[in-house]
Chain A
Amino acid sequence: MAEAINEAIRHEMRRDPNIILLGQDIGAYGGTFGVYKGLLDEFGPERVRDGPLCEAATAGFGVGLAISGMPTLVEIEFMDFMTLASDAMCNQAAKMRYFFGGQVRVPMIIRTPIVNRLGLGAQHSQSLEAWLMHVPGLRVIIPSNAFDAKGLMIAAIRDGNPTVFIEHVRLYPNKAPVEEADEPIPLGKLRVSREGKDATIATYSGMVKPCLDAAANLAREGIECEVLDLRTLAPLDCEGICASVRKTGRLVVAHESVKTAGAGAEIAQTAMEGAFDYLQAPILRVASKDLPIPTGKLQDVVFPSAVDVEEAVRKVME
């Protein structure tokens, strides 16, 4: 997936000479997790701008470049550090076009990875996508595989709006054939990763794989799950979610972020509002425990697993 994102950005930078990359360790180092490998060599230090450790100003400079007609990608090394860049993204980028009556465009993308289950502890392991979904004016894109990552990155760049592109460290090695052509994937369209008639599992990012594993196990018990990979949380494919729930009558939502006020609550309510009459069981959420994330073996207690998803599906099937 890292390579697919790299390819998308590389091709877009060739197409549009105004695109600028900002961040720390993005030059010779190639980005914290290697997504920018080779980009400095191809585009030079004017466009691939390694800079000082200052997320607030880096993101602020990104907004300034973006409104000046230079689409900018800012890398925030760990998603946890979004707090440091969030004024520029949430109070400035997301609102500026609106409060200036449409006079500016803000083609700015923050790329940031979820880096969990590596034992890095409470300040390096969070999934904060729900915070960002809560800000009108932002796109929140969260792919689960190389193919989608490439198409969604291309879409995000060409869309030209403030976007948080959430990657996942565990998915960087994900290998999947990607479109040779630079084909954008429309934002706000989920992917049906597995079809099924008995229950819907709505998920994204790092939980897609465990959910597919759970679905495979449940199929052996005769329970056919439909697995939805949401791909973008803002815009959210409400119709896609409801269509699946109308078909199966049951919904489990799974994500790695903590349960309370997580994306799952929004997804579940979307189904309640759009498919209530079809529901045959209460909607269940599978999520991390509402705790700071510990290091070591304790972290396994906090994060959800494929087994948790299976249990939840069996429960809604009762």
Chain B
Amino acid sequence: MKSLPAAWQAGALSAVKNIIMKTELDLNTLLYWYEQMWTIRYFEDNAIGSFRKGLFTGSTHPCIGQEAIAVGAGAALRETDQVLATYRGHGHAIAKKLDVKRLMAELLCKETGCSGGRGGSMHLCDVSKGFWGTNAVVAAHIPIAGGVALSNKLKKNGRVTAVFFGDGSTCEGAFFETLNMAVLWKVPLVLVCENNGFAISVPTHMAIPIENIAQRAQGFGLPGVTVDGNDPVPVYNAVSEAADRARRGEGPTLVECKTTRWERHSAISAGKYENEEEAMKWKKVDPIPRFTKALLEKGATEFQLKELQERAKKVNDEAMEFALKSEYPKPETVGDFVFA
């Protein structure tokens, strides 16, 4: 039986506590992250619930259990930086401050959705917020992010592009080709791998013959670092350093965040997992209670945390209501937006 990833073995929690205690970040910033993590969690709960109720078809790919990465990395980026993500990218959209109402409306394929109800759960986008969209072909967005980063370099605009992808993506050619080109041309790109242990159902140990995906960076000549992805602080620290490096013109960095995926690959995935019991054990490292504990130790009150959690829920309740009330795009607009 494959054991839990090294990051989650005995002592992981105390290590997390140490990092939080050491951080320079003020409590208000950390409380904002806490609220964002709950906003994402409630959004995903609503996404799954809506799908099961038949409010939209297709599928949805929740990031429950992975919220700390979106929040920590999002905080390390500037408003003008660009983010590209995968279909499991609802969290990244929220961390990039997209309107939760328009996100939920997009899931429900309504015309008020952030992509006009054409994209759905896997194609969220708001260019005005620097969120250049989520993509449904594994790893295909990685070279696109490389191109966006190259445009920053050519325009000398000081922006950094961050691209999020899963462990499965790092087996694709597009990933390897991008690493090579991004280092060669020193583009301001931050590659964030969310290693959640599974590519649909295939566990990483059956797909990737090395312990840490960050090791892949070495052969391509870029720094690679592995962090605990179920704590926003180390993610923030690593992505901040990578973004600084990119902004200094030193090129890309690969940040591997070890994390856990609670739900199946997507809401329609029905197959049996190699080790169902093992997958469930990963709930023990839920980033929210861990972060809650650390915040309480840092001086937050139970009341404060409860209030933030409730606010996150309210935002999502309102988003749900907005989405439900919105109209579907008119049939006669089906041909809009093909060509410019």
Residues of A at the B interface (CB closer than 8 Å) are: 20, 46, 49, 51-52, 54, 56-70, 72, 87-88, 91-92, 96-107, 136-137, 159-161
Nearest first, the 3 A-B pairs at minimum CB distance are A64-B147, A60-B143, A101-B116
Q: How far is the CB of A281 from chain B (nearest CB, A)?
A: 36
Quick check: A100 and B115 within 8 Å, CB to CB? yes
List the A side residues contacting B181 at CB < 8 Å: 51-52, 54, 57-58, 61
Residue of B118, B177, B338 touching A56 (CB-CB under 8 A): B177
Give per-residue flags for B147-191: 1 if the beta carbon is below 8 A from chain A beta carbons, else 0: 111111011000000000000000001100110110011000000
* A103-B115, A107-B340 given; 8 more Cβ-contact pairs under 8 Å: A54-B181, A67-B148, A69-B151, A98-B337, A101-B118, A101-B337, A104-B127, A137-B339
Q: How far is the CB of B69 from chain A (nearest CB, A)?
A: 22
Q: How far is the CB of B32 from chain A (nearest CB, A)?
A: 27
Quick check: A99 and B123 within 8 Å, CB to CB? yes
Q: How far is the CB of B329 from chain A (nearest CB, A)?
A: 9
- Inter-chain CA distance A141–B304, complex, in Å, is 62
- Inter-chain CA distance A67–B155, complex, in Å, is 14
Q: Is residue B113 within 8 Å, beta carbon to beta carbon, of the partner chain? A: yes
List the A side residues contacting B147 at CB < 8 Å: 60-68, 72
Give per-residue flags for B134-151: 1 if the beta carbon is below 8 A from chain A beta carbons, else 0: 010100111111111111
Give per-residue flags for B248-285: 1 if the beta carbon is below 8 A from chain A beta carbons, else 0: 00000000000000000000000000000000000000
Quick check: B116 and A61 within 8 Å, CB to CB? no
Q: How far is the CB of A71 from chain B (nearest CB, A)?
A: 11
Residue of A57, A63, A68, A161 touching B340 (CB-CB under 8 A): A161
- Inter-chain CA distance A83–B176, complex, in Å, is 18
Q: Is residue B119 within 8 Å, beta carbon to beta carbon, of the partner chain? A: yes
Q: Is residue B74 within 8 Å, beta carbon to beta carbon, of the partner chain? A: no
Question: What would be 14 A-B contacts, judged by CB atoms less than 8 Å apart?
Answer: A52-B177, A52-B181, A57-B174, A58-B181, A61-B147, A61-B178, A65-B147, A88-B140, A97-B338, A98-B118, A101-B114, A101-B117, A104-B127, A161-B339
Q: In the complex, which residue of chain A has the Cβ closest to the Cβ of B178?
A: A57
Number of A-B contacts (CB under 8 A): 138
- Inter-chain CA distance A46–B119, complex, in Å, is 34
Give per-residue flags for B309-340: 1 if the beta carbon is below 8 A from chain A beta carbons, else 0: 00000000000000000000000000011111
Residue of A20, A60, A97 touching B154 (CB-CB under 8 A): A20
Q: How far is the CB of A45 from chain B (nearest CB, A)?
A: 10
- Inter-chain CA distance A11–B20, complex, in Å, is 57
Q: How far is the CB of A247 from chain B (nearest CB, A)?
A: 31
List the A side residues contacting B63 at CB < 8 Å: none
- Inter-chain CA distance A96–B147, complex, in Å, is 15
Contact flag A91-B337 (CB < 8 Å), given A20-B154, A60-B142:
no
List the B side residues contacting A60 at CB < 8 Å: 140, 142-144, 146-147, 174, 177-178
Quick check: A56 and B148 within 8 Å, CB to CB? no
Q: Is residue B291 within 8 Å, beta carbon to beta carbon, of the partner chain? A: no
Quick check: B118 and A64 within 8 Å, CB to CB? no
Contact flag A101-B143 (CB < 8 Å), given A51-B184, A56-B174:
no
List the B side residues contacting A70 at CB < 8 Å: 151, 154
List the B side residues contacting A99 at CB < 8 Å: 115, 118-119, 123
- Greatest chain B CB density within 10 A among A59, A70, A103 is at A103
Quick check: A64 and B146 within 8 Å, CB to CB? yes
Q: In the complex, which residue of chain B has the Cβ closest to the Cβ of A103?
A: B127
Q: In the complex, which residue of chain B has the Cβ closest to the Cβ of A104?
A: B127
Quick check: B133 and A54 within 8 Å, CB to CB? no
- Inter-chain CA distance A58–B182, complex, in Å, is 11
- Inter-chain CA distance A57–B113, complex, in Å, is 30
Quick check: A65 and B338 within 8 Å, CB to CB? no
List the B side residues contacting A91 at CB < 8 Å: 137, 140
- Greatest chain B CB density within 10 A among A49, A60, A66 is at A60
List the A side residues contacting B152 at CB < 8 Å: 68
